[in-house]
Every structure is written in structure tokens, then in C-alpha cells.
Structure 1
């Protein structure tokens, strides 16, 4: 059984079909990239999996359990974590406190005034920060961190509920090439260690072709292609949609090659 199985997913806004009969599957330990030009339906599809939008029709199964009709918080407690295009942390709180708050939320507990929430789960929060390379910054306020470090904290927060599935909305947006690859290499390691399935959207094609196990491509709400890097790169429909050949991309390209491509303006299947 696949970790995530999406079947016949559709969403209409008035007379517009933003997502039209989309189906795909994601296995545990796999990174699946959701691609498409602007207006393709990526965000709508992504938000339906997360429960922020309800589909007009279709099914979303996580470990065989239907998610359609559930609220985002209930989906989160089912084991679905999420990071956002713009990092969502509490700037005035310390790095450690941000992760502690996520852990308190996972336990569904409230605490009396005699025992502040910040006193809970300190060891577990610190261990999560160690996993993402941020333990040395535990006592710093999130508001003073470099953006790449904030994204690492957000990843630790997403891992706090021990997710089976992690949804990452443009995880490397706003990051320099080296930071992008460091974050995705870290994500790859954690996915492998914990057997997490990852569904992510991303506009940086150097990241997609270097780290995604499989890709699905949407255009005008419909799924037009799916497969590994070579399959997607050579698909005529994908080339037509993106007005390019994709020949500049290579799976698992060295970091310097990817950085050079980004600097030269190559690789923008947008």
C-alpha cells in the first residue's frame, strides 16, 4: 500500500476547473516533486492534500485512511507535517521555544500558569534541532537568524509531530544556490532515516532534478506527465508547456554545476 494515494482529485471555482481528475501515489521514503507553470493547479492540489481546501470530488488516502473532509489540524495529527514558502516561525521566541511549542501542540495538552509551556519537551526539542543542525542556535531569537537557518528551524517544527508525510511548499524559495542544496540534502537524509514521504513544490529546477525521486507535472489542472528525471526531461508535452527542452538539467548534478546553471539563468521550467 502506498503511503499517499490521490485518486480522481478535482476542484472547481465557479466554472473554472483548477484541478481536473488528478491521480498519483507517493511511497514512504520518497521525494515527489509537484511541478507546473503558473496557474497549473499546483497550489490548489497541494492545499487539498493539506486540508486547507476541500476537493469537489476525489479521494486522498494516507496509509489507507481518507483525509477528505478532515480539518488541517486533524490531518496534522494524522501525521502530515508542512513547511511554507514563507517560513512560519515566532520571531520573538527562541529557536528552542518554537520547537517546544510544536511539541506541546502535538501532545494536545494545556498547562496551568504554574508550569509554563516553555518548560516542556526541552530535551526532545533540542534533539530535533540537532537533527537539522541548529542546536548551537537554540537560545537565539528566530527573528535574528539568517533566512536559511529559519528554514531549518521550520523543518524541525514540521518534524515535531513525527510525520509520515511532509508537505513542503517551495522549500528553497529565497535561498542562495548553496543554501538550497544544503537544505535539500538535509531533507533527503532525514527522509531516508525516518522513512518519511515528501510531496514538494519547487521552482528551482536544479533542486528538483538533483533530489526528487519522481516528478508529476500539471498543466491547466490536468496531470500531463509523471516519472523520473529522464522521463520528465524528455517528455514532449512537458517541453511544450515550459517552452524549452530541459536538456540543461542533469539528475544529481554537482553543486557547482547547479550553481552555475542558476547563475546563467538555465533551468527555469516555470
Structure 2
């Protein structure tokens, strides 16, 4: 088995007397797509943001590619080769699609202090390669303000890939998208992750997306990890069914759909 790209050991976070995350441990290997799910208030976002450096853990350790991230800022963690997308996509709406990717590339290379007239000529070829990879080459010159939300989410993925990440963190990537767009985005993410050997950790409420695209699932409840395994194992786990998915859950594999 491959060496872990991400290793989390006994991660915990307390806010006063409230234990948001309690003694959570897991690993993620290159090329693997791992979903972190659970009911509202389970501690998913807290756990996710500790990995990204936005929240400081109360206890435990996080290693990315063997390096302890204790005390690192989100930007320092990004520099380790960590890409990030957000629940609400954030792009520069006044710029074109290509210019957004160019800015991400220049940031990765610490060249954001150049004049914009010069910057517009830099990294355009590499930006176009990334846009080709995600199927948006024909949109390169479009202003982002004119784009549909599904295309903005795909552009956000392109921006995350500009960092040439080893690890990709995706916070509810399907949020706000139409059902078909959700499937297409996650299928695209999975293909790129396997081609480039990128580890993907994502949180998601859409169970269609989770069960169709995750290699492995972790389920949190009240800050504790209650189940971990492949989709089939988690789907039939009695504790998961009782606390999150529901006792009457039936998963229709043929339709890639969760029903009750």
C-alpha cells in the first residue's frame, strides 16, 4: 500500500466545554478520493478546516506528505502542495476565465507583484493547458461575471489545480449545482485525481455524489468517527443507518441514488 499523503492522528478540537472533534484519526493515500460525511453539527467543517490550517487543533497531529503542519498558516500549508475549493465558489468576477487561472499560477510562483499589463502576458499557455484539462478551453476569454454557477465551480477547480497540488481539499463541491453538473464535476475531479495521483478529501451532503464517487467514506457524529470504509461497508453499517442515513435507507446502485 502507498505511503499516506495525509495522516491525521488523534485530532481534537474543543470550544470551552464543547468537544467539536474528538480523537479522530485517518489516512489518505495519493490518488484516493475520501469523503467526510455526517449530520449537521457532526464536526466535519471543524475537522476539514484544521487540516487546512484555518483552525488550530486542541490536540493531535496532522502530517502532509510526512511533514508536521503544527503552527502552519493556511498559506504555508498551501505551499506544501494543498489545493482548496470552497462551498461557495470564489473567483475574480471582473476577470476572464484565463486571467483567474493566470493569477493563481503567478501566486504559486510568488510573482503577484508584477504590473497587471505584464501579468496578462504571463503563464497564458499553462493557464490554457489547465483549462483544456477541465474542459473549459473554449471559455478562456469569457468574463467570469457572465458565467453560469456550474462553470464557476469548474473554474474554481482549475484555480486549485494551478498550485499543482498533491492534496485537494473540497468543501461541499456540489453545493448549489444542478444534479447533472454535480455528477460531471465529481467525475472530472476523480479522473484528474487518478491521472495525477492527487489525494482528494471532500465533505458533501449530497449522498448521490458521495456514494457514486468516493473510494472510501468516514462518518462523523458529535465529533467522533463512528464508521470508516468503502461505500458498501458504510451503507450497511447499523450505527451509520441509525444516526445519519436513516434505518430505512436503501441504495439503488443501478440509478446511483439514495432513497428511503
**Structure 1 length normalisation: TM-score?**
0.92
Distance 1:113 1:207 in 2: 42
Does the alignment pair 1:171 with 2:173? yes
Find the counterpart in structure 2 of residue 128 from structure 1.
130
Does the alignment pair 1:86 with 2:88? yes
Distance 1:224 1:240 in 2: 11
Distance 1:13 1:179 in 2: 37
Give the Å deviation of 1:71: 0.4
Does the alignment pair 1:66 with 2:71? no
C-alpha contact (below 8 Å) 1:19/1:44 kept by paired residues: yes
Give the Å deviation of 1:230: 1.1
C-alpha contact (below 8 Å) 1:170/1:201 kept by paired residues: yes
SS in 2 for 1:232: helix
Distance 2:102 2:9 in 1: 36
Distance 2:157 2:112 in 1: 24
Find the counterpart in structure 2 of residue 8 from structure 1.
10
Find the counterpart in structure 2 of residue 45 from structure 1.
47
* Larger displacement relative to structure 2 (113-122 or 152-161): 113-122
Give the Å deviation of 1:176: 1.3
Task: List per-residue Cα deviations over 1:130-163 (Å, max 9, x = no partner).
Answer: 0011110000111111111111100000000100
Give the Å deviation of 1:118: 1.8
Give the Å deviation of 1:112: 4.2
C-alpha contact (below 8 Å) 1:234/1:246 kept by paired residues: no
Query: Residues 82, 114 of structure 1: CA spacing in aligned structure 2 closer, same or farther, 3 A cutoff?
Result: closer
Does the alignment pair 1:202 with 2:210? no
C-alpha contact (below 8 Å) 1:94/1:139 kept by paired residues: yes
SS in 2 for 1:116: helix
Point out where structure 1 has 5 or more consecutive residues left out of the alignment. Answer: none
Aligned residues: 258
Give the Å deviation of 1:232: 0.4
Query: Residues 81, 243 of structure 1: CA spacing in aligned structure 2 closer, same or farther, 3 A cutoff?
Result: closer
Distance 1:127 1:102 in 2: 14
Give the Å deviation of 1:189: 0.5
Find the counterpart in structure 2 of residue 36 from structure 1.
38
SS in 2 for 1:223: strand
C-alpha contact (below 8 Å) 2:103/2:112 kept by paired residues: no
Give the Å deviation of 1:248: 2.5
Find the counterpart in structure 1 of residue 100 from structure 2.
98
Find the counterpart in structure 1 of residue 225 from structure 2.
223
Find the counterpart in structure 2 of residue 212 from structure 1.
214
Runs (4+) of structure 1 moved beyond 6 Å? none
C-alpha contact (below 8 Å) 1:92/1:143 kept by paired residues: yes
SS in 1 for 2:250: coil
Task: List per-residue Cα deviations over 1:31-75 (Å, max 9, x = no partner).
Answer: 000000000000000000000001001111011101121000010
